[in-house]
Amino acid sequence: MAFTFAAFCYMLALLLTAALIFFAIWHLVLPEYLIHFFFCVMFFCAAEWLTLCLNLPLLAYHVWRYMSRPVMSCPGLYDPTTIMNADILAYCQKEGWCKLAFYLLSFFYYLYGYGFIFTSCSSALRINDSHRALVFYLRMSNM
């Protein structure tokens, strides 16, 4: 009898833990999609075509995933009644790992781009500043 009660409490704790995790993260899906869309719009406005082309497949997947979400009363993506199915849970877990890998690679790509632009702008600023100083000196000496 004691083992049955302990097993029941363990199963109940697993279900409650899954429910608490679900209700903690279900509302983070739509902000993630909107932030990614905003980044794509910024890349488009800045004419960063390579970066935009790298982000368009994930943006298309986000649109498809949100349009084919389960019918619910709230704007979430995961249905709490079906998320505990093993096949849906495995699919969502693979999706999460793939998106994590994409975001990690994107982060290092953006970091490389920032460093490249910073170093090239730094040397260009030094040249332009010395040119401006020379022009200013020549203008002041002619007065």
pLDDT digits (tens, 9 = 90+) for 37-66: 999 999 999 888 999 999 999 999 989 988
Number of domains the chain is built from: 1
Whether 96 is covered by a domain: the verdict is no
Task: Check if the beta carbon of residue 92 is closer than 8 Å to that of residue 78.
Answer: yes
- Give the structural domain span for 3: 1-84
Whether 142 is covered by a domain: the verdict is no
Q: Which of 103, 20, 106, 29 is nearest to 65 (CA)?
A: 29
pTM of the predicted model, to two decimals?
A: 0.61
| Two structure tokens written together for 114 | 């920032």
Report residue 5's pLDDT band, with 50, 70 and 90 as the boundaries: confident
Report residue 80's pLDDT band, with 50, 70 and 90 as the boundaries: low
Whether 34 is covered by a domain: the verdict is yes
